[in-house]
């Protein structure tokens, strides 16, 4: 287990991970909208809160997920570099090729607080935190090769950090049949959920710029400026609308819009921190004790609002007797700590090899902003209890030496 934990710590962050409303989505690589039920449906598609479902209860902590990944290093690569006594030129090239412009890291987690459903209504709470950051490849280039170039420029898109943590209290109602749909057209079920958000903390990079120039005419000049905005103790809201329909026997399709009017307004504490480091026309011949200027300043600012851009999700699922396949397409409208503006397609399959045991497999297809994610899960379910464990690998079909990150999902619910 130590190695497992170490692996989690090692792979700090991930290149991109869309919103992770619950632990169970890890089982299916986020192709989960039409699979969710009970309390899970409160976050994935409230339309699926069904009067026909038994009472479903979330226990504290046991529906949790954690993830960490990066865009460059897999375990194999880590082992390679950790075992090297000396880094040669080929090693440096290899490492920088892997970085691809910037080292991106992401981590986060979701922890259940409580949840309960009664008929087509659900009330739940969970805590979520997200952290993502990027560090320009140029820093690593300097670290590995030295300052061989005359100038280096750093921009915010390649070097930044942001974090967000909040607890939601979500109430959802579903299983509404949309009127005016003539028979025999498939009926459409609808639902909605509203979330009261209590912000725990927020950090985002407002400004970042930097350069290092180095030549005999002007000496060494360097500037690193970063301005971070922080908030603590916020209050906010978000809404979700969802519909689905069984188009054919066993075939369902659905649509959700999440983060409707989503925001958190940070009121308890809001401040900006600016940090500046500069070196002006430095030459060894005139170097002194104060050859650099280092300034940091923190000041309170007016309360500010973190918006949570809306996110559209389309899904389809076909269920056979012992197997289910699904596909989800999710598209955010803005890149934030919680969302990605690049659409992602996820596919999942599950089957029941033996009674009460579901095995799941999912894949989130890669694109320019998101890595390949492949999930494996096992879930035990009987009349009263639903327990599962899932593991997700980044940029590798199988969890192992080629993974650049992992997600772990632990799911446990009780039904009555």
Q: Which residue in 96, 123, 247, 282 binds other proteins (CB under 8 A)?
A: 282
Shortest distance (Å) from residue 300 CB to other proteins: 40
Report 308-367 residues binding other proteins (CB under 8 A).
354, 357
Closest CA relative to residue 115, chosen from 106, 107, 124? 124
Residue 141, H or E segment: helix 137-145
CB 101 within 8 A of CB 126: no
* Binding flag, residue 372, other proteins (CB under 8 A): no
Pairing of strands 64-70, 405-415: antiparallel
Euclidean distance between CA atoms 366 and 344, whole angstroms: 7
Residue 192 CB contacts under 8 Å (≥ 6 apart), including other chains:
46, 172, 173, 174, 239, 240, 241, 242
Count CB atoms within 10 A of the CB of residue 336.
21
Q: Are 201 and 161 in contact (CB under 8 A)?
A: no
Within residues 91-130, the interface with other proteins by CB under 8 A covers 91-92
Say if CB 131 and CB 94 are below 8 A apart. Answer: no
Contact 161, 206 (CB under 8 A): no
d(CA 90, CA 144): 12
300 is a site residue for other proteins (CB under 8 A) = no
CB of 338 to other proteins, least distance (A): 27
Quick one: 9 or 61, whose CB is closer to other proteins?
Answer: 9
Asked if residue 368 binds other proteins (CB under 8 A), the reply is no
For the window 141-180, what string marks contact with other proteins as x by the rule CB under 8 A? --xxxxxx--------------------------------
Least distance from C-beta 33 to other proteins, angstroms? 25
Residue corresponding to tokens 């659905």: 254
Count of residues that interact with other proteins, criterion CB under 8 A: 48
Interacting residue with other proteins among 184, 285, 288, 355 (CB under 8 A): 285
Q: Smallest distance, Å, CB 319 to other proteins?
A: 22
Is 398 one of the binding residues for other proteins (CB under 8 A)?
A: yes
Based on the shown chain and the rule CB under 8 A, indicate whether residue 79 belongs to the binding site for other proteins: yes
Site residues for other proteins, window 214-233 (CB under 8 A)? 214-220
289 binds other proteins (CB under 8 A): no
- What tokens appear for 10 in the block? 């090692």
Instruction: Give whichever of 117 and 379 is closer to other proteins, judged by the CB atom.
Output: 379
Q: Which of 192, 222, 205, 124 is nearest to 161 (CA)?
A: 205
Residue 75 lies near other proteins (rule: CB under 8 A): yes
389 sits near other proteins (criterion: CB under 8 A): yes
The residues with which 243 forms a beta bridge, in sequence order, are 190, 255
Tell me: does residue 251 bind other proteins (CB under 8 A).
no
Piece of 28-36, 51-59, 228-236, 283-291 that binds other proteins (CB under 8 A): 283-291
DSSP state of 76: H
- For every residue of 35-61, DSSP letters joined together read T--GGGHHHH-GGG--TTSPPEEEPTT
- 55, 84, 93, 101: residue in contact with other proteins (rule CB under 8 A): 84
Cβ at position 303, least distance to other proteins in Å: 42
Q: Which residues bind other proteins (CB under 8 A)?
A: 1, 3-4, 6-7, 10, 75, 78-79, 81-88, 91-92, 143-148, 214-220, 282-285, 354, 357, 376, 378, 380, 389, 391, 398-401, 406
């Amino acid at each position: 287990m130590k190695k497992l934990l170490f692996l989690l710590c090692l792979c700090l962050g991930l290149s991109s991970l869309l919103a992770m409303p619950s632990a169970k989505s890890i089982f299916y690589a986020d192709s989960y909208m039409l699979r969710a039920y009970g309390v899970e449906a409160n976050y994935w598609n409230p339309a699926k809160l069904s009067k026909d479902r038994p009472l479903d209860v979330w226990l504290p902590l046991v529906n949790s997920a954690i993830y960490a990944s990066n865009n460059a290093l897999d375990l194999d690569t880590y082992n390679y570099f950790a075992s090297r006594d000396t880094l040669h030129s080929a090693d440096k090239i290899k490492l920088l090729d892997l970085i691809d412009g910037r080292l991106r890291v992401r981590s986060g987690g979701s922890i259940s607080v409580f949840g309960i459903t009664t008929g087509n209504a659900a009330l739940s709470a969970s805590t979520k935190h997200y952290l993502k950051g990027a560090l320009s490849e140029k820093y690593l280039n300097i670290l590995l090769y030295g300052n061989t170039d005359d100038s280096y420029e750093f921009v915010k898109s390649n070097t930044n950090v942001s974090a967000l943590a909040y607890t939601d209290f979500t109430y959802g109602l579903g299983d509404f049949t949309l009127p005016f749909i003539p028979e025999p057209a498939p009926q459409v079920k609808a639902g909605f959920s509203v979330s009261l958000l209590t912000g725990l903390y927020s950090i985002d990079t407002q400004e970042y710029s930097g350069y290092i120039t180095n030549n005999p005419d002007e000496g060494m000049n360097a500037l690193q400026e970063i301005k971070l905005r922080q908030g603590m103790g916020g209050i906010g809201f978000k809404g979700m609308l969802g519909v689905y329909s069984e188009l054919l026997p066993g075939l369902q399709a659905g649509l959700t819009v999440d983060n409707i009017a989503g925001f958190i307004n940070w009121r308890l504490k809001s401040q900006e921190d600016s940090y500046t480091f500069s070196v002006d026309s430095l030459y060894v011949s005139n170097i002194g004790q104060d050859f650099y200027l280092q300034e940091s300043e923190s000041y309170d600012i007016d309360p500010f609002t973190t918006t949570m851009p809306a996110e559209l999700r389309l899904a389809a699922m076909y269920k056979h007797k012992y197997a289910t396949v699904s596909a989800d397409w999710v598209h955010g409208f803005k890149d934030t700590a919680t969302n990605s503006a690049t659409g992602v397609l996820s596919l999942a399959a599950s089957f029941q090899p033996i009674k009460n045991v579901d095995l799941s497999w999912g894949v989130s297809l890669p694109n320019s902003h998101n890595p390949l994610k492949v999930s494996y899960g096992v879930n035990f379910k009987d009349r009263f209890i639903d327990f599962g464990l899932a593991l997700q690998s980044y940029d590798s079909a199988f969890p192992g030496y080629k993974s650049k990150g992992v997600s772990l999902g632990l799911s446990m619910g009780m039904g009555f």
